[in-house]
Amino acid sequence: MTTTKKRVVIAGGGTAGWMTAAALSKLMGKHLDLVLVESDAIGTVGVGEATIPTLHIFHRLLGLKEQEVMAATNATFKLGIAFENWRDTGKDYLHSFGFLGKDCWACGFQHFWLKGRQLGMVGDIGDYCSEHLAARQGRFAVLPNQDYNHAYHMDASLYAKYLRQLAEQQGIRRVEGKISQVLQHHAPDSELNGHIEALVLENGERIAGDLFIDCTGFKALLIEQTLNTGFEDWSHWLPCDSAIAVQTKSTATPLAYTRSIARESGWQWRIPLQNRTGNGLVFCSKYLSDEAATQLLLDNLDAEPLNPPRVIKFKTGTRRLHWHKNCVAIGLSSGFLEPLESTSIHLIQRSIIRLMQLFPANGIVPADVDEFNQQTKTEIENIRDFIILHYKVTDREDSRFWRYCKQMTIPESLRHRIEMFADGGKVYKHGNELFGESSWIQVMLGQGIMPKQYHPIVDVMEAAELDAFLSNIRSTVKRKVDALPPHADFIRHYCKSN
Ligand code: FAD
């Protein structure tokens, strides 16, 4: 590292801005002069309350204690997502974070299950997965000898507040104010030409920097409005472009999973926190007006709203470049894949870690920038395919929206995966992809793809042996889960012991 401190300016203080601020100040604070600018008047998007288990990695990096984060954000545990009415009205399934069955060198567990199914000896595939069964039974505990793959439902604004406190303790300077101008270097003969030089606030304050992180949300004030990096529009594959969000008081014990309920022109979320429920409707404005969507959501709440419903507009897709010149986009400024599988906060954390790994300590190296952009692109495209799968593979034909989804063309990469599973139950995971085999299997089966055949290796087992093998896994899972306390009881005890 050079001796002069690099000046890093984070524009925006939503979840993306404060996660970036907390990580950089904790791990690289000694070498950086860090400033975060946010506008109270503009505020944040205020949603983004369901997470996935990779958040543990981020919290470990920051040295955070789980109980403390949960108590500070009114969090509950999340073991997966229930997809209701997605395959067809009245048909539900759960995508849990767990591993299905047992690891086997020869072929995946689904092949054993598929043969067992043919022989009439199996239950739901979720019976062979602890997280799946625990979610359905509303049981959970963090135990020293049993690691349930879990995430959280948490209050987004409390989470940003918690991270802000942490980042400020770690030395970051917060500036409140509206950015009214982004200044660029004009030096045609220099490699700095076009780089961002400074942000100018409405009150005239000028904040100069060496590296700028654009966390300004959908506005993408630096990466797009200033650097014009371009946007790859994916709305032909992910056609929802609007959401209505509203909070209600909790009326029941919190579930240990998110509910995603398919509706005529989109889907509704229910995210249970300790003290309230986050509700929303994601929908496609081509088929449903904001007014009708608001009414649909209000008609399907289980308690009185705590706040007026809010409309949020978005476009699904990705920024063509996530790092351009001396600007890195993190969060909604870098693109958005719609919230179906709660992947945005994960992508924020991945970009933060990637930025730290490729940090331009001694000036910006084009190869590092290319690497950052390539890795980000591959990662997002994989998640995009997984989300499209839910819309494409459906029996629903009851509305123009679902007929469109069923008939739309899909990326070749996804078509290939669907074909492999439909034909021979084969699933693969490339490198660092986020969603592993168990995720693809649960969603493909849940959406209604039943492979034509299982792998012949399974025939090595006689029927009685297969029956014993499957029964053994199922009863072990059941025994483990039956011993867990109710999810709500455990949260109370756990957060109190903080
Ligand atoms: P924002 O929260 O919009 O923050 C932008 C910041 O920039 C604010 O501080 C704002 O004040 C500041 N700013 C903007 N312009 C200026 C300016 N001119 N001057 C100064 N400051 C400025 N993600 C998940 O992981 N799980 C979910 O369940 C989930 N659900 C979602 C549901 C919906 C409907 C949507 C739209 C998103 C959802 N997301 C979810 C995504 C998640 O909300 C975001 O990834 C996360 O909140 C990060 O947002 P952000 O910080 O990039 O943007």
Q: Kindly report, residue by residue over 136-174, the tens digit of the pLDDT.
A: 999 999 998 888 999 999 999 999 999 999 999 999 999
User: Which residues are annotated binding-site positions?
Assistant: 13-16, 78, 332, 341, 345
Whether pLDDT at 408 is above 80: yes
80-149+242-313+385-498: CATH topology:
FAD/NAD(P)-binding domain (3.50.50)
The alpha carbon dihedral of 284, 289, 294, 295 has a sign of negative
Q: Kindly state the percentage of the chain with pLDDT values over 70.
A: 99
With CA atoms as reference, report the closest residue to 487 among 36, 133, 104.
133
pLDDT band, very low/low/confident/very high, at 417 (cuts 50, 70, 90): very high
What does the pLDDT read at residue 3?
61
Whole-structure pTM over 0.90, yes or no?
A: yes
Determine what percent of the chain falls in helix, strand and coil, rounding each to the nearest 5.
40, 20, 40
Q: What is the pLDDT of residues 290-336, one digit of tens each?
A: 999 999 999 999 999 999 999 999 999 999 999 999 999 999 999 99
Ligand 1 geometric centre to CA of 445 (Å)? 33
Which pLDDT score is estimated for 424? 96
Is 1 a residue whose pLDDT tops 70?
Answer: no
32/170 Cα distance (integer angstroms): 11
Measured between alpha carbons, how far is 10 from 356 in angstroms, rounded to an integer? 14
- Of these residues, 6, 26, 65, 78, which one is catalytic? 78
Residue among 73, 59, 67 nearest 353 (CA):
59
Summarize pLDDT for 53-107 with one digit per residue, the tens. Answer: 999 999 999 999 999 999 999 999 999 999 999 999 999 999 999 999 988 777 8
Helix axis angle for 366-392 and 344-357, nearest 10°, is 160
Specify whether the CB–CB gap between 334 and 319 falls below 8 A: yes
Which is the closest atom of ligand 1 to the Cα of 280?
34
Angle between the 463-482 and 130-137 helix axes, to the nearest 10 degrees?
Answer: 50
When pLDDT is averaged across residues 177-205 and rounded to a whole number, the result is: 96
Q: Is 339 in the pocket of ligand 1 (CB under 6 A)?
A: yes
Q: Residue 497 has what pLDDT?
A: 67
Mean pLDDT confidence for 271-282: 96
pLDDT at 432: 84
Q: How far apart are CA 230 and CA 219, in angstroms?
A: 13
- The predicted pLDDT at position 225 comes to 98
The tens digit of pLDDT for each residue in 124-138 reads: 999 999 999 999 999
Phi and psi at 490, nearest 5°, equal -65, -40
Give pLDDT tens digits for 448-494: 999 999 999 999 999 999 999 999 999 999 999 999 999 999 999 88
Domain positions in the chain? 6-49+155-233+316-364, 80-149+242-313+385-498
ipTM: 0.99
The amino acid at 220: A
Give mean pLDDT, residues 272-279. Answer: 96
Tell me the per-residue pLDDT of 13-30, one tens digit each, with 9 for 90 and over. Answer: 999 999 999 999 999 999
pLDDT given at position 214: 98
Angstrom distance (rounded) from CA 225 to CA 105? 51
Q: What percent of the chain has pLDDT over 90?
A: 93
Name the residue of 332, 342, 347 whose CB sits within 8 Å of the most ligand 1 atoms, as the mutation to test its pocket: 332
- The CATH H-level superfamily of 6-49+155-233+316-364 is FAD/NAD(P)-binding domain (3.50.50.60)
The answer to whether residue 34 scores a pLDDT higher than 70 is yes
